[in-house]
Amino acid sequence: MKKPNIDKKFAVTAVLCAALLAVPPLAVGAQTLYYSAPQTRPAVAGVMSDSVRLDPVAGALYRYGIVGGLSGPTTYGDAKTAPTVMSGKLRQAFNRGLLNEAQWTYLKQKLDEAEKVTPFQPVEEGKLRSLFTLTYYEGGVTEVAFSLYQPGKITKMENGDISYPMVTYTSVDIMYLPDNGAILLLAVDDNDLPAGDDLETATENFITQLNTTLPGKWTQDEKPGDNTTTRQYIYRHSADVLWVRSCYFDTGYAFSMSVSLEPEAYGGIDALNGLLVNDYGQVYKAPQN
């Protein structure tokens, strides 16, 4: 992916300034009047209209992708408050039909276990470890996450580092808008997670809770079985602005569901800023060669 070339922008600006100096004064005056009048925004792929940008979900994702995703987190919250925030978001996910009762109960139990673990202790075989994070991004997007795992047999490597398998592992990642706004990402990784009622229904509930003000409707574009290498659902919005992707992970009932800018329409924006989207739907900066 290409990184924006600031030098080119300055070069173009310099050329335009030189051209304007060569234009007769009357032509410049006419040009000024033209550009001071309201102009229709061109319908170009990769350019979000003003009306669309005002949508709570699309606007937040646009700012997150263009500014927050490019520059990284705006601020980090106090990790001590993350368990309380996570508890509330898990309840919200349950109330919105993204988790069933068995899954919600199971994850609450794992959250309680993770909160009781003393952080930043040396790694010991069989001793639980946990990590909480609370992150704020541009566009009003907040991310809360926790992981809980039990190390297996520890092996010391030649370079002094250690390696170990994880006997048990649980991670939950939730991104959302403020004021009980839409959940933009829900990713749960745990091989022992209870079965959900139905991923397709949960995905439709996910779309419903987005509560987008955009006109049009969502259409299912892909379902498990359409692609032999993935177990995923993809829904596209008729306004060609947003898409929703949900999928099972490799084993068990672990899953992820997320909403993002339509990659085909806004792929140019991501490419311009050197951004990529991972399997969780999170935007991150592409590594530079």
Amino acid at 140: G
Contact (Cβ atoms closer than 8 angstroms) between residue 73 and residue 64: no
Cβ neighbours of 11 (radius 10 Å): 11
Q: Are strands 129-136 and 75-76 parallel, antiparallel or unpaired?
A: antiparallel
Q: CA–CA distance from 107 to each of 10, 83, 99, 233, 243 (Å)?
A: 52, 12, 10, 23, 27
CA dihedral of residues 263, 266, 268, 269 (deg, nearest 10): -120
Question: Residue 146 carries which DSSP code?
Answer: E
Give CA–CA dist 122/127, Å, rounded.
Answer: 10
What pLDDT is stored for residue 63 in this prediction? 76
Alpha carbon distance 262, 63 (integer Å): 14
Rounded Cα–Cα distance for residues 126 and 154 (Å): 10
Return the ∠ at Cα 61 (arms to 59 and 66), rounded to 5°. Answer: 100
Q: Give the pLDDT confidence score for residue 82 in this predicted structure.
A: 96
Nearest one of 111, 87, 58 to 269, comparing CA atoms:
58
- pLDDT of the chain, 289 residues: tens digit per residue: 444 444 433 333 333 333 333 333 333 333 333 333 443 433 444 556 677 777 888 888 877 766 655 556 778 899 999 999 999 999 999 999 999 999 999 999 999 999 999 988 888 889 999 999 999 987 788 999 999 999 999 888 888 888 888 889 999 999 999 988 999 999 999 989 999 888 999 999 999 999 877 777 899 988 876 766 667 899 988 877 888 999 988 767 899 999 988 765 554 444 444 555 555 555 555 554 4
Alpha-carbon span 223 to 100, nearest angstrom? 21
pTM: 0.74
pLDDT at 23: 36
| Structure tokens belonging to residue 40 | 């229709």
Residue 222 structure tokens? 């892909």
- CA-nearest of 149, 174, 183, 195 to 83 is 174
pLDDT in the model for residue 169: 93
Exposure b/e, 92-123, CB count within 10 A at least 16 = b:
bbbebbbbbeebbebbeebbeebbeeeeeeee
pLDDT of amino acid 286:
53
Cβ contact 277:263 at 8 Å: yes
Q: For residue 12, what pLDDT is reported?
A: 35
Q: Quote the pLDDT of residue 283.
A: 52
